[in-house]
Structure 1
Amino acid sequence: MKINTGKYLASTALVGALAFTATTANAQENVRWQVPMAFASTLTALGDTMPWVADQLRAMSNGAIDLQVAEPGTVIPALAIFENVSDGNIDAGFSWMGYEWGTVPAAALFGATPFGLESIEFMAWMHFHGGKELLAEVFHPYDVHPILCGTISPETAGWFREEITSVDDFQGIRFRAAGIGGEIMAEFGMSVTVMPGGELYQALETGVLDGTEFSLPTVDEQLGFYQVAPYLYLPGWHQPSTNQFLYVNLGVWEGLGDQTKAMIENACWAGTAYSIARAEALQGAVIQRFEESGTNVETYSDEIIAAFHEATKTVMERRSAADELFGRVYASMMEYQAELRPWKEKGYLPRDWQSRIGE
């Protein structure tokens, strides 16, 4: 039998070419980024989300996507993530969105909006009500592509060295706050400053600060605020959610393949779910420990909350008038909050339903 070697060789070459093409198409590109963080990885539910996301990416990509997280201050200053990603000094970083609001006013709304969206609501708005598109519009002009990569429960409203009984008590208080909440607090005569978390204990202990807000009860406990400020006030009206983002240089992001982008985005989806679940799992026990240690855990009076709400409207109107994009982002959030209200008020049990029925 005579073999047609020409046809055989051609078929073999075709099979080899197809196999090479398939292998190339499925090959995972290598990504090696150092990712400085704004928060220490030891801070539960605040700083440990990005390391968890990085671990998931290494596992999913068999090590091809390796994001090496860096602790605050080891590569760049803790509060300088945005500008360094924007300038291309680093490929990516992980931070709360809001530290850059002096440069990008609308950024603070994505980090936390006083009397605004809670974590699950924020996720819904971001992914299904136009938030993601607005985020790109805000940040892409600065060559930054942010990806929602974490969200946690409300912060504590504030730790104080002295008792707060009325809005008059805020006058002259030296207080640490960040983002829009800080501007609102200044409306009450508070002297507001921004300081990294690691400096706050000593500032409270020495009287440099009269009070501070920073994060969740778990984080506040780790930082030891209860040892130097005996009054803790809730609820966290200024940050109903605290939203963290993986900041990626826009040029670097656009240079990635679709498969790599999808893996990073999905890992951040998982990180967002991980962070809110972890946050909610831990806070009740911490509040109990605060009370057992002698901390005065108080709820702001209705009058104080109403005053904060009025001041919030004043600040938001002023900021919206001064910055068109800020105004559009805030309006989008508030429209969604109003749309959701009938469901939120009627679809869920009231938060105090157990005390209402005597249990």
Structure 2
Amino acid sequence: MIRRQLLAGGAAIGASAVAVPLAAPAIAQTAPEIRWRLASSFPRSLDTIYGAGEHVAKRVAALTDNRFQIRAFPAGELVPGLQVADAVQNGTVECAHTASYYFVGKDPTFAFDGAVPFGMNMRQTNAWLQQGGGRDVLKEFFATYNMVSIPAGNTGAQMGGWFRKEIKTVKDLEGLKFRVGGFAGNVLQKLGVVPQQIAGGDIYPALEKGTIDAAEWIGPYDDEKLGFNRVAPFYYYPGWWEGCLNLSMFINKAKYEELPALYKEALESACRDATIETMAKYDVQNPPALRRLIAGGAQLRPFPRDVMQASYKAAFELYDETAAKNETFKKVYAHWKAFRDEQYGWSRVAEYSFDQFVYAMYGQEAQARR
């Protein structure tokens, strides 16, 4: 639809034998050529998460007949992966593809645009952002950083990461140097963990050298590519800090406001498409990757229940503590939690009861086949 709108206006050609010069498409007459640079927080080797930014760029070009082009650069080529927000804010680049929770050191409110511990799943998060008022309540916050944020990808539920030693009790977390992203580091710190925020491409050498004791990234497909199974044997689940990770397109506010309306719509459409495509890629690629990791010796472990319970308690204590000190966080948290509570009530009726039954039946059938 957007492309048809953009290309509308070419001259109609009648059946007459008289040759009539064709008018150039309307977009060529009226729409400017725009070139943007996109700084990604992710390495090129991760075709899923880095690929989401590339997907946006390709779709925008296709929808605007190449009049609006965005060139994606992997982490480190323009700016380090964890500095892309600064680059967008100060206009060094026009946009960035990233995970908002990388920037909770600036303000913990950033977490809600990405992932918060014991938060919502992909569908619920997407509903909050796109239809539940989430983007509206975050808009004012991002404006204070001279940015616009558009959801542009999602990983779904993540794994809990790779550990050199088993985690049997909460006590085993004490002193653990753990690479973990976002607000989860603050939660785990309450349980004695020493959180480390390290960009994706730098995690493996830190884990290999023993600079850290454990690391989480996303899930089997990316983890296999990054090689974590070669240096840490225990693979834990679930990643309770990321029931999903919403990826974001950060855009310099002034540059965004300069865009023609149809270019803004092309960008929105491309980002929505990237969310669907990225989630689909992970859903297709994670199952066989997990099988390969287990066949290669990875020892799959669930987090002990007492660890999960202690983490849940610590998370919501921290939300209340942070809200008491940060009015912006308080406002967004109240909106987010009210939506979460309503979604959980509904999902328990339909989604959870369905999932619980079919997974139980699958388990019985799988057991019978052994």
Residues 186-205 of structure 1 mapped to structure 2, 5 A cutoff: 186-205=189-208
Residues 90-169 of structure 1 mapped to structure 2, 5 A cutoff: 90-169=93-172
Residues 1-359 of structure 1 mapped to structure 2, 5 A cutoff: 23=26, 27-348=30-351, 349-354=353-358, 356-357=360-361, 358-359=364-365
Alpha-carbon contact 1:43-1:222 (below 8 Å) kept = yes
> Any idea what SS the aligned residue of 2:37 has?
strand
Alpha-carbon contact 1:116-1:333 (below 8 Å) kept = no
- 1:32 and 1:139 map into 2 onto residues whose CA distance is 23
Deviation at 1:137, TM superposition (A): 1.1
Residues 292/23 of structure 1: CA separation in 2 closer, same or farther (3 Å cut): closer
Deviation at 1:303, TM superposition (A): 1.7
Alpha-carbon contact 2:53-2:97 (below 8 Å) kept = yes
Deviation at 1:28, TM superposition (A): 2.9
Deviation at 1:218, TM superposition (A): 1.1
- The residue number in structure 2 matching 1:7 is none
- 2:295 and 2:125 map into 1 onto residues whose CA distance is 33
Deviation at 1:354, TM superposition (A): 4.0
- 1:345 and 1:26 map into 2 onto residues whose CA distance is 54
> Any idea what SS the aligned residue of 1:106 has?
helix
Per the normalisation by structure 2, the TM-score is 0.88
> Any idea what SS the aligned residue of 1:48 has?
helix
- 1:150 and 1:353 map into 2 onto residues whose CA distance is 29
Note the residue ranges of structure 2 that are not aligned, 5 or more in a row. Answer: 1-21, 366-370
Alpha-carbon contact 1:91-1:249 (below 8 Å) kept = yes
| 1:191 partner amino acid | V
RMSD: 1.9
Alpha-carbon contact 1:153-1:216 (below 8 Å) kept = no
- 1:225 and 1:353 map into 2 onto residues whose CA distance is 34
In terms of Rg, which structure is larger?
Answer: 1
Residues 24/72 of structure 1: CA separation in 2 closer, same or farther (3 Å cut): closer
| 1:235 partner amino acid | P
- 1:254 and 1:165 map into 2 onto residues whose CA distance is 52
Deviation at 1:355, TM superposition (A): 5.1
Deviations 1:197-218 (A, max 9, x none): 2221121112111101122221
Alpha-carbon contact 1:145-1:249 (below 8 Å) kept = yes
Alpha-carbon contact 1:171-1:190 (below 8 Å) kept = yes
Note the residue ranges of structure 1 that are not aligned, 5 or more in a row. Answer: 1-18
Per the normalisation by structure 1, the TM-score is 0.91
Alpha-carbon contact 2:108-2:183 (below 8 Å) kept = no
- 1:143 and 1:355 map into 2 onto residues whose CA distance is 46
| 1:159 partner amino acid | W
Count of matched residue positions in the alignment of Structure 1 and Structure 2: 341
Range with greater deviation from structure 2 (347-356 or 93-102): 347-356
| 1:306 partner amino acid | Q
> Any idea what SS the aligned residue of 1:179 has?
coil
Residues 300/26 of structure 1: CA separation in 2 closer, same or farther (3 Å cut): farther
- 1:142 and 1:354 map into 2 onto residues whose CA distance is 46
- 2:135 and 2:260 map into 1 onto residues whose CA distance is 20
| 1:119 partner amino acid | M
- 1:155 and 1:294 map into 2 onto residues whose CA distance is 20
- 2:47 and 2:156 map into 1 onto residues whose CA distance is 12
Residues 166/262 of structure 1: CA separation in 2 closer, same or farther (3 Å cut): same
Deviations 1:298-320 (A, max 9, x none): 11122221111011111111111
Alpha-carbon contact 1:158-1:212 (below 8 Å) kept = yes
| 2:357 partner amino acid | W
Aligned-pair identity (%): 27
Deviation at 1:341, TM superposition (A): 2.1
Deviation at 1:25, TM superposition (A): 9.7
- 2:80 and 2:28 map into 1 onto residues whose CA distance is 39
